[in-house]
Structure 1
């Protein structure tokens, strides 16, 4: 095999790898794909925050979040009532 043929084969292989890389980047940059990736990440974080590593529910954390939400609603109600 001549040196020229080997170089042409190497160039074609490099082009093929580059095309695959560009296609993968174009796919990852699609807004729908980004949104799906972010949603999956959020679900994972929520699951890690509300469950122990063995899958048990972390009641104390959920209770704290509920208490904070109730407090927020009460404060918002007081502010709204005060403005009237």
Structure 2
């Protein structure tokens, strides 16, 4: 194979790699794909926060979140009453 043919082959291979990279970046930049990644990340974090590595529920954490939510709701209710 001549040097010219090898260089042309190298250029075509580089173009193919570049095209793949550009297509991947265009796909990742789509708003729908970004939103899907965000939702998936939130689900993973929620699962890690509410389940042990064995897959069992972390009752103490769930209870603490519920208690905090109740405190917030009561506080908001009291603030609304006080303003009236």
TM-score, normalized by the shorter chain, greater than 0.5: yes
TM-score, normalised to structure 1's length?
0.98
TM-score, normalising length: structure 2: 0.98
- 1:12 maps onto 2:6 in alignment: no
Deviation digits for residues 33-67 of structure 1 (CA, Å, limit 9, x no counterpart): 00001100100000000000001100000000000
Q: Which residue of 1 aligns with 2:43?
A: 43
Aligned CA-pair RMSD: 0.4
Provide the aligned length of Structure 1 versus Structure 2. Answer: 84
Structure 2 gap segments, 5+ residues each: none
